[in-house]
A and B are shown apart, each in its own frame.
Chain A
């Protein structure tokens, strides 16, 4: 079974790598039109915000996606506030994790 699963891992890698590589390996990307470069610059904040929002607000372990609202929103908001204020992500992450662990220990989350 394990040998088969190693083969499966190879197949998973084979379908993952092209998405990661194709735009990076295409030559002359720097010659794209300015509006395309601006678009690509905006992909960063958009996709990271989307990742954060989706992983925070959608609960999908039971199959159908459901809206999740909880105190972890508060922990993420605190982290965002710290990053905006102090420009220190590590501090924000530590505070968010400690806050969440504390809330869970207290039975509030």
Chain B
């Protein structure tokens, strides 16, 4: 829709899409930095450029793939690599469940593709966008998930593998702080009431506590499960979004 056709109803949608684009740009810059670094690390672990390309393209993800490189480099059995990947990526079950109330009216094919690119960053950008406009919007989702995350990561990983040996550590440029900063900033954007705030704070505290006791990924999953339970115990504040608003 162009500017002359814009209706009052479309203005929040366009504004939210612009915000997704801006937010995705910051995440894409970080993705390029770490994609380059990942490509370099993958070559050092023994992967060819083709293997890096295939791995990133079909098993798209960040944390699990870095962990897998470590296992590959030391010659760990495949079963352990696959098991670790499944465990690390189990948190995506939470993302998918949280998005599902918005996506019920979408075609199956769309939801199948949506799941393929569902990562931490895609979830963060997508859920923020859907909650701002109160419904699903696939254009906004693809902007965040594909343009802001998938393409930069995959392309930079391939370039990184091809240029192995001449890539600077992204931490030198402060890019390592972008991931936690982006996740924290997007969490702040989702806080619209007391329950959200309590769920976020509980998620952070539980995540770190369980992560230190057991394993960081266990902490993320525990924080994502326990935070909302504690949030539900708190009386809702005025103006808090009702669940039915989420359903398209």
Contact = CB atoms under 8 A, between A and B. Distances in A.
Instruction: Indicate, yes or no, whether A interacts with B.
Output: yes
Interface of A: 1-2, 5-6, 8-13, 15-17, 19-30, 32, 34-35, 37-58, 60, 65-67, 72, 75-76, 79-80, 82-84, 87-90, 92-94, 96-102, 104
B220 interface: yes
Contacts, number: 330
B8 interface: no
Contacts of B165: none
Given A42-B228, A96-B178, A104-B171, A16 B59 contact: yes
**Which of A15, A35, A43, A84 is packed against the most chain B CB atoms within 10 Å?**
A43
Given A38-B243, A65-B215, A97-B173, A12 B55 contact: yes
B68 interface: yes
A90 B30 CA distance: 11
Contact of A40 (B97, B201, B207, B226): B97
Contacts of B173: 97, 101
Contact of B224 (A8, A12, A46, A60): A46
B92 A19 contact: yes
A53 B127 contact: no
B98 A12 contact: no
Contacts of A102: 174
Contact of A93 (B115, B178, B188): B178
Contacts of B247: 30, 37
Interface residues of B, number: 111
Interface-central residue, B29, B72, B175, B207, by most chain A CB under 10 Å: B207
B170 to A, nearest CB: 10
Interface in B102-120: 103-105, 108, 111-112, 114-116, 118, 120
Given A21-B96, A40-B101, A67-B212, A93 B182 contact: yes
A34 B30 CA distance: 37
B47 interface: yes
Contacts of A93: 26-27, 29-30, 178, 181-182, 185
Contacts of A92: 181, 185
A52 B186 CA distance: 10
Nearest to A11: B82
B96 A45 contact: no
A25 B115 contact: yes
Nearest to A94: B26
A44 to B, nearest CB: 4
18 contacts: A8-B68, A8-B72, A21-B116, A22-B93, A23-B97, A23-B100, A29-B100, A39-B228, A47-B224, A49-B183, A50-B219, A51-B180, A54-B220, A57-B211, A58-B212, A65-B214, A83-B189, A89-B182
B44 to A, nearest CB: 13
B143 to A, nearest CB: 14
Report, nearest first, the 8 A-B pairs whose CB atoms are least far apart. A46-B227, A50-B223, A46-B203, A37-B243, A50-B207, A47-B224, A100-B174, A42-B228
A52 B227 CA distance: 14
A8 B216 CA distance: 24
Contacts of B174: 75, 96-102, 104
Given A42-B231, A97-B178, A104-B174, 18 more contacts: A2-B50, A15-B85, A23-B99, A24-B99, A24-B100, A34-B242, A47-B203, A48-B124, A48-B184, A50-B220, A51-B220, A52-B180, A52-B183, A53-B180, A54-B219, A60-B215, A60-B216, A93-B26
